[in-house]
Amino acid sequence: MKTQIENLRRELEQHNYNYYVLSQPTISDFEFDDKLKQLQGLEAAHPEFFDPNSPTQRVGSDIVSGFEQVAHVYPMLSLGNTYSEGEVQDFYERTRKGLNEEFELVCELKYDGTSISLTYEKGLLVRAVTRGDGEKGDDVTANVKTIRSIPLRLQGNFPDKFEIRGEILMPWAVFDELNREREAQEEQLFANPRNAASGTLKLQNSTVVASRKLDGYFYYLLGENLPSDLHSENLAAARSWGFKISDATKVCQSLEEVSAFINYWDLERKNLPVATDGIVIKVNSLSQQKNLGFTAKSPRWAIAYKFQAEKAVTRLNSVSYQVGRTGAITPVANLDPVQLSGTVVKRASLHNADIIESLDLYIGDMVFVEKGGEIIPKITAVDKDARFLIGDKVKFLKVCPECGAALVRFDGEAAHYCPNENTCPPQIKGKMEHFVSRKAMNIDGLGSETINLLYQNGLLQNIADIYSLKIPDLVRLERLGTKSAYNIQAGAEKSKEVPFERVVFALGIRFVGETIAKKLSYAFKNIEALECATLEDLVAVDEIGERIAQSVVQYFSDSLNVETVSRLKSAGLQMSLSEEKLLSHGDALIGLSVVISGTFAKHSRDEYKAMIEMNGGKNVGSVSAKTSFILAGENMGPEKLKKAENLGVKIIDEDTFLSMISETKSEE
């Protein structure tokens, strides 16, 4: 029994890490809660195996490195969850007996985002902290300030100091657009808006956070001088101060009213612009909340009723395989059409060979289909009892479905790849689509249909061919008029002004996204130096690991790629950093590893990180014996300070740092 308990604890701890730290859950909330209940039952039956660090004794953590840690004045505990209206009734009865007096309940939508606590003083936002481990969390104030629905300055009559708690959310429309962009770049898709919001809030670059268009809904006030003893009236007051408070809130006098609210929103929530996963039920009176108190993990005066993920059963008719820009092969299940979460589902991703093998799929199987976060269809299981006259077992391809090349699988990778990147049609066209995309060369007029048309007619076989296109060749093609031809040529000409770092990104080197392309450009400064860089040269650059370095070396070891780059250079593309950017770079910090900690007066943390990179230094997140120095502002993290003192790492302020880099430039 002890072994079973310990195994279950380890499994839940891993799922906690996947969910809160990586923001990449591998099981549903329902499955996690079911396993947690199993563990709670086993621990209750065997108290001799009690462990204070068991998943049942703590709130999951979302703490990540890179943010200052702030203790919560009021602990942020999680709510008890249930998927059963019977357990909601049990909660009601416990509350009635615990209070032994009349009480009201407030029903609210449970928004599916990432929890946040905001502190306001004299009407100004002074701090935003994530839930973390419930006792302390990450200070993400700079990122939260980019969310336009969150007021920086309040209006009306408000307490001098208070906290307000809520959820940071990514609206469905923003989520869909973000995933479309990531899919076009063949980056891993976010499973649902919750993961996207959580991942975004933890980004170090607040400008990227701002571009993600996050939203915030708020649902609880804390403080000494709140407007009312009633939670519902406090929410109304918060709305008048400028906070986004959901209209889907109802004061209920009976269990029947609670049940009606649950049943109504189980259907109606699908029409909302943001994700929800249940209903939160709270005692309305704050004094009654105080009387009911807390367990070690959650309040006794509230409970969360969670909606079941919608599932459907349908037939698997076939499996097709898509080849992406990088050669990654994605298996797709083709299904009998089935209604699911308001849309008709005909296809579902099977992700990779390991998923197919674990499902033990046969053509003709009846399969359970679910939408992860109600947006991405996936097959979760097979109804093996329903097998009748099934076809062949589904086995992953061994050769590329487009060009016939033998597939390869790299160590540590889940996907299979077609290695034939220069002659496999989907990869060629995919590289061109990436090259002309908005964040790369931004060439108008060359969408996927036009690229396919030009490819089929032999006018585009390589990204460099874009700069050799002639107006007469274009206008003779069906569906391409004179105006379109001139637009394509004008777009190609204008793209010659695109800076070097975006050209590096546009080349489509595997694993080299926007950020990595910028780091490579700043480190090597021109295409010739990047082309000649060794594996050792590359891994010495901040955030360039061996996998990325090998990919860059491999790209430039291919003679076709070298020829393509040479043609692009001859066409007039920017193949080195601009004069302005070269002047802003120095070598004062070459070979130095720098840790940034605290808040600064003259520049933001992101600006200092950029300065470190521009001057040849490397940004590192944690203090070690290899740290050259710490750039410290106000409120430096106590753990970093203690570690620096123990290791004898030098600490400098921002004035000293700015002098260091300016002196080197003046010497030049």
Section 655-660 average pLDDT: 88
Chain segment 464-487, per-residue pLDDT in tens: 999 999 999 999 988 788 889 999
Look up residue 347 and give its two tokens: 């296809």
Chain segment 491-516, per-residue pLDDT in tens: 999 999 999 999 999 999 988 988 78
- What per-residue confidence (pLDDT) applies to 68? 82
Amino acid at the residue 482? T
Section 384-405 average pLDDT: 91
**CATH number of this structure's domain 69-306, picked from the four choices 3.40.190.290, 3.30.470.30, 3.20.20.70, 3.40.50.720:** 3.30.470.30
Look up residue 527 and give its two tokens: 């295409």
Q: Flag whether pLDDT at 376 surpasses 80.
A: no
Look at the domain 309-417 and name its fold: OB fold (Dihydrolipoamide Acetyltransferase, E2P) (2.40.50)
Instruction: Tell me which of 2, 35, 110, 346 is the catalytic residue.
Output: 110
Could you give the angle at which helices 448-456 and 425-436 cross, rounded to 10 degrees? Answer: 130
For 504-519, the DSSP string reads: HHHTT-TT--HHHHHH
- What per-residue confidence (pLDDT) applies to 342? 57
Per-domain boundaries in the chain: 2-57, 69-306, 309-417, 425-497, 500-582, 587-667
Chain segment 127-179, per-residue pLDDT in tens: 999 998 788 888 998 889 888 889 888 888 999 999 999 999 999 889 888 88
Chain segment 225-275, per-residue pLDDT in tens: 999 999 999 999 999 999 999 999 999 999 999 999 999 998 888 788 888
In this prediction the pTM is: 0.54
From start to end of 227-358, where are the E strands? 249-252, 276-283, 302-306, 311-323, 329-340, 343-349
Section 630-650 average pLDDT: 84
| Active-site residue, 282 included | no
Section 347-351 average pLDDT: 87
> Under CATH, domain 2-57 is a member of which superfamily?
Helix hairpin bin (1.10.287.610)
- What per-residue confidence (pLDDT) applies to 439? 86
Fold matches, 425-497 and 500-582 = yes
Over 547-564, what HEC string results? Answer: HHHHHHHHHHHCHHHHHH
Using the Cα atoms of residue 68, residue 72, residue 77 and residue 78 in order, give the sign of their dihedral: negative
Q: Flag whether pLDDT at 341 surpasses 70.
A: no
By percentage, how much of the chain surpasses pLDDT 90? 46
Please enumerate in sequence order all residues whose Cβ is within 8 A of that of 259, keeping only pairs 6 or more positions apart, or say none. 85, 88
Chain segment 520-560, per-residue pLDDT in tens: 998 898 999 999 999 999 998 877 889 899 999 999 999 99
Question: Residue 239 has what DSSP assignment?
Answer: H
d(CA 278, CA 283) in angstroms, rounded, equals: 17
CATH architecture of the domain 425-497 equals Orthogonal Bundle (1.10)
CATH tag, 500-582: 1.10.150.20
Chain segment 417-455, per-residue pLDDT in tens: 999 988 999 999 999 999 999 889 999 889 888 999 999
- What per-residue confidence (pLDDT) applies to 582? 66
By percentage, how much of the chain surpasses pLDDT 70? 93
Question: Residue 77 has what DSSP assignment?
Answer: P
Q: Which candidate, 419, 416, 418, places its Cα nearest to that of 354?
A: 416
Question: Residue 151 has what DSSP assignment?
Answer: -
**What confidence category does residue 104 fall into, taking pLDDT thresholds of 50, 70 and 90?**
very high
* Cβ atoms of residues 511 and 547 within 8 Å: yes
- Separation in Å, CA 121 to CA 127, 128, 532: 9, 12, 56
Q: Which candidate, 358, 422, 367, 370, places its Cα nearest to that of 390?
A: 367
Please enumerate in sequence order all residues whose Cβ is within 8 A of that of 283, keeping only pairs 6 or more positions apart, or say none. 95, 99, 103, 104, 105, 106, 231, 289, 292, 301, 302
Q: Flag whether pLDDT at 647 surpasses 70.
A: yes
Please enumerate in sequence order all residues whose Cβ is within 8 A of that of 342, keeping only pairs 6 or more positions apart, or say none. 270
* Cβ atoms of residues 209 and 145 within 8 Å: no
CATH tag, 587-667: 3.40.50.10190
* Residue 432 burial (CB count, 10 A): 26
Section 111-137 average pLDDT: 91
**With 0-12 CB in 10 A as exposed, 13-18 as middle and 19+ as buried, what is 273?**
exposed
d(CA 471, CA 481) in angstroms, rounded, equals: 10
**What confidence category does residue 663 fall into, taking pLDDT thresholds of 50, 70 and 90?**
low
d(CA 124, CA 120) in angstroms, rounded, equals: 5
Give the chain's length. 668
